[in-house]
Amino acid sequence: MNTEALLSALETKFKLNPANARLLIVGLGATGYSAAQFLQHTPIKFAVIDSRKQPPLIDTLREQMPDVPVFSGGFDQSAFEVATHLLVSPGVSLNEKAIHKAVQAGVTVMSDIDLFACATDKPIIAITGSNGKSTVTTMLGDMGQAAGIKTAIGGNLGTPALDLLQENADLYVLELSSFQLERTTALNAKAATVLNVSPDHLDRHEGMAGYAKEKQRIFRGDGAIILNADDPLVMAMRSEGRKCLTFSTQRRADFYLRRGASDTLMHDEQVLMATDELHLEGTHNIANALAALALGHAVGMDMNAMRGALKKFKGLAHRMQKVAEVRGVRWVNDSKATNIGACIAALQGCDRRVVLIAGGDGKGADMRELVPAVKDKTKAVVLMGKDADLINQALAGCVPVYFAANMKEAVKIAASHAEAGDSVLLSPACASLDQYKSYADRGNKFTEAVMELATC
């Protein structure tokens, strides 16, 4: 899309006209920087603000865009008072006082995804959900390439959406978080899904109802909607008059799991592939494969190409990743399980007795929801991090619980309670930033400790 078409779309959707608009980018992380890079090639006047004194990309921004005003070290109200539009990064809460006051004064809030949607006329597949987003997004990227479609993936996963435009792709696959969706109004995906809804980020949303409402925003527009038939909160998002496909591991759906002597993935009456052809652990990953097939089908991908891509897909790091088998014990890294639903899905997908390593920042979630899966699947739980005591109280003695100060200690404790034929599963049900740089850093520390154990 050329600049003229972009400006026309921004004028129509957001009344953003370069002649009188003053846009303020709030937050200078990867998303904010990608927006600045994009906007510098347009006539739109913009500035950048960040509450941190030294945002990670501030030096790069000043070097590359010396004429762009940059405010750091706090949210200066005067910067917000002159803005007509705010582009708020997903890491910044819309409840910030300066943002709330600007909105009350009539300032328009938008997102990098809005800019992206106005900047391309290529088809978009949009994916959200509490769990499985990154896996399904990556699956679809592989499927698109296998089908001969120049496909770019990003958004909440990896590359910021606006940076993807440089790839001149024919299909864009975007993973979107609830934080991105709550400030996005212009997206009209050709196919979109909410994979599932379980407690997550309740400290930023108004309970489960508010969280689900933000997820549902992915269905704005007129494209196909893909729904998880096993999740009542998702099925409640069905909209009359919209093309809708469903997927399920528990019942008949448009794409579903048929159990038998050989479990198979099905599309209506068509056998697609046997589940043992997938290199993935857990029923939740079968659901991810079904969702990816439904999304690809909705945008016209070749079914044979999609099946071929799934057969080659090895999974993602820190998502039910088998690290090692040590003296008959399987060690699995699921550090990406940063919420309760992901941990429950991981436990339910295990076919062995489990010693669970969990804990971190629970983000205000009700940890009592872990109890049924923990009672059913685990023989012991090792807890660490900020909310270890909170999780212990929620489990209320349903299984033996042990405490560790760090990952190395957690692995040693888990090893002492695991026997041949068991699995030790790192699936924290919590965010990582109380002790680690990221979930990936946490997962890497787990892997290092396991490999050290293997050499003993």
| Annotated catalytic residue, options 85, 131, 190, 201 | 201
Are residues 98 and 80 in contact, defined by beta-carbon separation less than 8 angstroms? Answer: yes
Concatenate the DSSP letters of all residues of 57-101 into one string.
THHHHHHH-TTS-EEESS--HHHHHT-SEEEE-TTS-TT-HHHHH
Are residues 263 and 289 in contact, defined by beta-carbon separation less than 8 angstroms? Answer: no
Active site annotation includes 243: no
Q: How would you label 240-262 residue by residue, b for 16+ Cβ within 10 Å and e otherwise?
A: eeeebbbbbbeeebbbbbeeeee
**Dihedral sign, Cα of residue 262, residue 265, residue 271, residue 275:** negative
Half-sphere exposure of residue 58, counting CA atoms within 13 Å on the CB side? 16
Active site annotation includes 53: no
**Pair of tokens at residue 270:** 């068509």
Cα angle at 422 between 419 and 426, to 5 degrees?
115
DSSP, collapsed to helix, strand or coil, labels residue 376 as: helix
**Pair of tokens at residue 84:** 């007509």
Are residues 234 and 196 in contact, defined by beta-carbon separation less than 8 angstroms? Answer: yes
| Annotated catalytic residue, options 131, 156, 285, 333 | 156
Which whole-number Å values give the CA distances from 30 to 34, 91, 155, 326, 394, in the listed order?
6, 10, 10, 39, 36
Are residues 217 and 181 in contact, defined by beta-carbon separation less than 8 angstroms? Answer: yes
| Annotated catalytic residue, options 85, 131, 133, 196 | 133
Q: Which helix (H) or strand (E) holds 249?
A: none
Active site annotation includes 133: yes
The span from the CA of 58 to the CA of 394, in Å, is: 42
Distance of CA 333 to the CA centre of its chain: 17
Cα angle at 42 between 38 and 45, to 5 degrees?
95
Task: List, by residue number, the catalytic residues.
Answer: 133, 156, 201
